[in-house]
Amino acid sequence: MTTRSARRKFSADFKAKVVIEALKERSSMEELARKFELHPNQIGTWKKEFLTNAGAAFASESDISDDKKEQEALMDKLYSQIGQQKIEIDWLKKKLL
* Domain containing residue 83: 59-97
The reported pLDDT for the residue numbered 57 is 81
Residues 14 and 42 in one domain: yes
Q: Are 19 and 46 in contact (CB under 8 A)?
A: yes
The reported pLDDT for the residue numbered 65 is 77
pLDDT in tens, 44-92: 999 999 999 888 888 777 767 777 888 999 999 999 999 999 999 999 9
The reported pLDDT for the residue numbered 30 is 95
State the pTM of this model: 0.58
Report the domain count for the chain. Answer: 2
Residues 48 and 87 in one domain: no
Residues 72 and 97 in one domain: yes
